[in-house]
Structure 1
Amino acid sequence: MRQRRFLPSLSQLIAFEAVMRHGSVTAAADELHLTQSTVSRLVASLERQLGKPLFTRDRKRLTPTPEAVTYAASVTQGLDVIQRASMGLIANPGGGVLSLSVLPTFATRWLAPRIGQFLSDNPGISINLSTKIQRFSFASEAFDAVIFFGQPDWPDAHHLRLFDERLTACASPQMLAHHPVAHPSDMAGLPLLQLETRPSGWSAWFAAQGGTPPAVSGMVMDQFSMMIQAAIAGLGVALLPSYLAQPEIDEGRLQPILRAGVPGEGAYWLAWPDRRQGDPAFARFRTWIADQVTAG
């Protein structure tokens, strides 16, 4: 049984969260279409219910306590979960809503062209996609699953291996016309574009080609989409997952260098928290994406 003392009303929590976000009772009242006195009264009643001060008051100025800052983070997360659940119920009363965190370029180049078929085959399910590079905790973020690159080490999660990464080095036709590459040693002097999350990528590629990597001196980027455009513009050689490189190669905007599709040092994974293990909507998505990987 839940104890009422530890379950403040939504009105109290919404008022508190708005004050914390705006740093002002006046701004919070404007957003919520309430009077300032009503917002102040809701915050004060929340403090009485919790038995803890959340703000120090100096005349009309409110300064949140350190405890209030920590509490606000959890309240915001809880309100987000309730809002998403309500939106999902309204939009899909007979299905479910899945919130997925996906790597940016993977989302646009691999998942987006395929996801329409899943939605068509499962009309009661909707999917919210958010792109993230940095890792997060399922305990603190309202995501149902994540697609990430690396090793099966996402904390407190189940894992499904999607596919291993294979690497293809590419450059613009114009760059290769001026600087042909027939051997790994011919790469010396070319700017080698780098990705923040693949610091050893070039070393793995040169090892697979039977060569020794030169000093890497190209630009460092945080997304493959930026690297692709930089390579097309002739700013350097891109080292790309083969599934990302192939469309640009087919269109003639990039040309592969030496042996394509060499093994990388990681894989793409689907990970999900235990709370989604038996969820029917997620089970359908998990089966679907596994089938997509098998089909190629």
Structure 2
Amino acid sequence: MRRRLLPSLTALRTFEAVARCMSFTEAAGELNVTQSAASRQVRILEEYVGGSLFVRTRGRLELTDEGRIYAAELKDALDRMEFATLQAMAYERGGGVLRVGVLPTFGTRWLIPRLSRFSKAHPKITLNLNAGDGAVDFGMQGIDVAIRFGSGQWPDAVSYRLGLSEEMVVVCSPDLRAGDRALTSPEELRHFVLLQHTTRPQAWSQWLAEARIDDADPAVGPSFEHFFMLIQAAVAGLGVALLPRFLIADELRTGALVAPLAQTTVYEGGYYLICPAARKELTKIRAFRDWLLEESAVTTPLDAA
């Protein structure tokens, strides 16, 4: 059996702390040891690897090139060791903390109003939500799973498609609809400002093509980065928006937004739960995945459940 070539964990933890704090004094305080003890552990590690990891320049502590690379790799390794330990501690208890990276509007409009159901079914699992809509990096973002919109392809991850589609509905404020020019047919859209969503750049083109309207410019109009901004812009009467029906159920019910046209379109893509392939069978991830898939397949209104 091959013996692993590893220095002591104490020396590794000390070096990582000093490299992160760039101070023996601060690292020693964090580790609850003396400064000389921290310095001794770093010297032991340097002897083990056979090279200097730090240099002092004009009284300042700096990492060598080797030390900088080693520190980055070591931090990642220690983070993974900590994560694995926490998972092992929580496994038998069926609980733990699950960190979820979620799209901002999806989180506030759809997920959060339903989380009491998850908490009731899994009281030992605590969910921490982080808003984000860009690329997924589980380590850098400090998350266990993510909810994103896309095609289902993410590197080094498995994805599960939720039972939600983006049926895009043309909506506007009641005042805008009742203005000088009534919006009663697709042909009238050429007289209105078309509000844009930066991550759905083809939505208006798709809707207009399916409605066979060719005299309205699908790309002209103010754009918004998030759906919640686009929703507020439409409510404020800034123009006509194309929005997923399930995200604006409240506005349609209260009359803050109206849907003057029957024509809808389903935007290509879907909502997915994404997690690292190596962690997909963790108890807390499986529990959240199964609940989310079941919840997203339910078609009854939230308040009817």
Counterparts of 1:24 and 1:234, CA distance in 2: 56
Q: CA deviation at 1:123?
A: 2.1
Q: What is the aligned partner in structure 1 of residue 48 from structure 2?
A: 49
**Alpha-carbon contact 2:177-2:183 (below 8 Å) kept:** yes
Instruction: Label 1:291 to 1:90 Cα distance change in 2 as closer, same or farther (>3 A).
Output: same
Superposition RMSD on alpha carbons, in Å? 3.2
More displaced stretch, 260-269 vs 66-75? 66-75
Q: What is the aligned partner in structure 1 of residue 242 from structure 2?
A: 239
Counterparts of 2:146 and 2:103, CA distance in 1: 9
Q: CA deviation at 1:264?
A: 0.7
Q: CA deviation at 1:26?
A: 5.3
Structure 1 residue aligned with 2:229, among 226, 231, 234? Answer: 226
Q: 1:110 aligned to 2:110?
A: yes
Specify the code of the residue in structure 2 equivalent to 1:168.
V
- In structure 1, the gaps of 5 or more residues are none
Instruction: Label 1:151 to 1:39 Cα distance change in 2 as closer, same or farther (>3 A).
Output: same
Q: CA deviation at 1:78?
A: 4.2
TM-score (norm 2): 0.79
Of all paired residues, the percent bearing the same amino acid is 39
Encode CA deviations 1:82-109: one digit per residue, 9 max, x unaligned: 5556667778861133332221211111
Structure 1 residue aligned with 2:198, among 187, 196, 199? Answer: 196
Q: 1:259 aligned to 2:258?
A: no
Q: 1:167 aligned to 2:174?
A: no
Considering only CA atoms, is the larger Rg found in Structure 1 or Structure 2? 2
Partner of 2:268, secondary structure, is strand
Q: What is the aligned partner in structure 1 of residue 62 from structure 2?
A: 63
Partner of 1:114, secondary structure, is helix
Counterparts of 2:212 and 2:113, CA distance in 1: 35
Structure 2 residue aligned with 1:283, among 283, 286, 289? Answer: 286
Encode CA deviations 1:121-158: one digit per residue, 9 max, x unaligned: 12232223222211224576654322211101111332
Instruction: Label 1:239 to 1:6 Cα distance change in 2 as closer, same or farther (>3 A).
Output: farther
- In structure 2, the gaps of 5 or more residues are 300-305
Counterparts of 2:26 and 2:37, CA distance in 1: 13
Specify the code of the residue in structure 1 equivalent to 2:59.
K
Partner of 1:147, secondary structure, is strand
Q: What is the aligned partner in structure 2 of residue 133 from structure 1?
A: 133
Counterparts of 1:217 and 1:27, CA distance in 2: 55
Counterparts of 1:130 and 1:264, CA distance in 2: 25
**Alpha-carbon contact 2:194-2:241 (below 8 Å) kept:** yes
**Alpha-carbon contact 2:170-2:243 (below 8 Å) kept:** yes
More displaced stretch, 222-231 vs 34-43? 34-43
Instruction: Label 1:204 to 1:66 Cα distance change in 2 as closer, same or farther (>3 A).
Output: farther
Partner of 1:6, secondary structure, is coil
Specify the code of the residue in structure 2 equivalent to 1:239.
L
Q: CA deviation at 1:217?
A: 3.1
Partner of 2:178, secondary structure, is helix
Counterparts of 1:288 and 1:26, CA distance in 2: 47
Q: What is the aligned partner in structure 2 of residue 153 from structure 1?
A: 153
Counterparts of 2:225 and 2:161, CA distance in 1: 23
Instruction: Label 1:198 to 1:58 Cα distance change in 2 as closer, same or farther (>3 A).
Output: same
Counterparts of 1:18 and 1:192, CA distance in 2: 53
TM-score (norm 1): 0.81
Encode CA deviations 1:237-290: one digit per residue, 9 max, x unaligned: 333221112212212222224236521111111222322333333222222222
Structure 2 residue aligned with 1:249, among 249, 252, 266? Answer: 252
Q: 1:94 aligned to 2:116?
A: no
